[in-house]
Amino acid sequence: MTSETPFQIDIPDEKLTILRAKLELASFPNELEDAGWKYGAPLADIKRLTERWKNSYDWRKYEKEINEQLPMFTRDIDVDGFGALNIHYVHKKSETVDAIPLLFCHGWPGSFLEVGKILPFLTSSAPEHPSFHVVALSLPGFGFSEAPHKQGFAIDQYAEVAHKLMLALGYNEYVTHGGDWGSLITRRMASVYGGRHLKAWHTNSPLPKPPSWRSPLFFLSFLLTPWSTEEKAGIERTTWFQTKGQGYYHEQSTQPQTLGYSLADSPVGLLAWIYEKLVLWTDNYNWSDDEVLTWISLYWFSRDGPAASLRIYFELRSDCEDLGQSPTIPMGASFFPKELIVLPAAWLRKSHNVVFESHHKTGGHFAATEVPEQLVQDIRKMFAKGGPAFAIVPGRTGYA
């Protein structure tokens, strides 16, 4: 593995010119009366965002802010059977020498940018809470990380990249936090590298295994125990997502290349495709137009284009259908009411070694963006003095 290279985002002027030209030529579909969100992203929203993107949104302003706020690097990571991939990542160390190494792993349609709000909290030093050295990679094919060139780059390979990155940074023992695909990837890391390297994992996208007749007593308990108010709301949210929110998943997991042509060529198409998720997957989070456009711009300007990020769905589809054996190392879970799949915590405790769980009244799929203080508080509590995973990384308590 090569040494790391400092990285700054510097999108060529030519790409900005091309983007504006495409936005200038954009065509829009018509819309039914009083449609609202019933058929998808509203026409008025997409027209407003397109107009802002084209005429007054200042990419250079936000590019500068990202470069100043997030210490970024790249390095080559060798992946067995796939060669070396150049991986982009954020790496910020705490001033606390014995801070806990923590890997932050995003999903789709997220990015390394999601770590931005929680980074100052996690790396801060104080006697009241643990501190962390934080690494947030761009998954291969996302952001400024090189995409795989061969078929079959599946969950084991994503886990391998993330693990080898931590080793390359000198973190032989570490903990993780993940959401969306990041949850499944860190779950696999917990299974493959757990114990020796990965000591504990935390997620805001917990995926419990439903009760099965193979565990008769637990299955009987499930049948006889009435739902709580929180559990009923979670099942309702899960049902909504499975029946009305998964069209994107079926397309991206079966024919990602076909969809990719549209997203790679049309910035308005990309905007609508992701904006819909940003709104419907959150808990009434008040997105500013510029916040949305920065999020979308990172996909538009990504190293291998927005289509590259879709292929993870095709390659990991079988892993979603069969999660395999649960990891045995300590797990922490944060439950947010507007996550996409919200199943009873009792199911998770049955199938995983849950040592910490927290239930929140607000928050959705993008917890690090929507409710950063709540997420940080959970991670701190899990690894704090008196917490269930205190000092789980030998020699790194998180305290001075």
At 219 the pLDDT is 56
As given in the structure block, the two tokens for residue 295 are 């999020």
> Residue 166 phi/psi, 5° resolution?
-60, -40
At 211 the pLDDT is 65
Buried b (16+ CB within 10 A) or exposed e, 189-212: bbbbbbeebbbbbbbbbbbbeebe
β-strand partners of 105: 178
Amino acid at position 77, single letter: I
Distance CA 208, CA 331 (A): 12
At 212 the pLDDT is 63
CA-based nearest residue to 174, from 88, 102, 277, 243:
102
As given in the structure block, the two tokens for residue 23 are 């936005």
CA-based nearest residue to 187, from 78, 313, 328:
328
Question: Looking at the predicted structure, is the pLDDT value of residue 1 above 80?
Answer: no
Question: Looking at the predicted structure, is the pLDDT value of residue 305 above 70?
Answer: yes
Mean pLDDT of 273-281: 98
At 325 the pLDDT is 83
Question: Looking at the predicted structure, is the pLDDT value of residue 220 above 90?
Answer: no
As given in the structure block, the two tokens for residue 337 are 């009411």
At 69 the pLDDT is 98
Question: Looking at the predicted structure, is the pLDDT value of residue 31 above 70?
Answer: yes
CA dist 94 to 121, 177, 389, Å? Answer: 10, 17, 19
> Residue 77 phi/psi, 5° resolution?
-120, 125
At 324 the pLDDT is 74
CA 224 to chain centre: 36
If phi > 0 it is left, if psi is from -120 to 50 it is alpha, else beta; for residue 256 that is alpha
As given in the structure block, the two tokens for residue 76 are 């080559």
pLDDT (tens digit per residue) in 153-191: 999 999 999 999 999 999 999 999 999 999 999 999 999
Enter the DSSP assignment of 114: G
pLDDT (tens digit per residue) in 92-110: 999 999 999 999 999 999 9
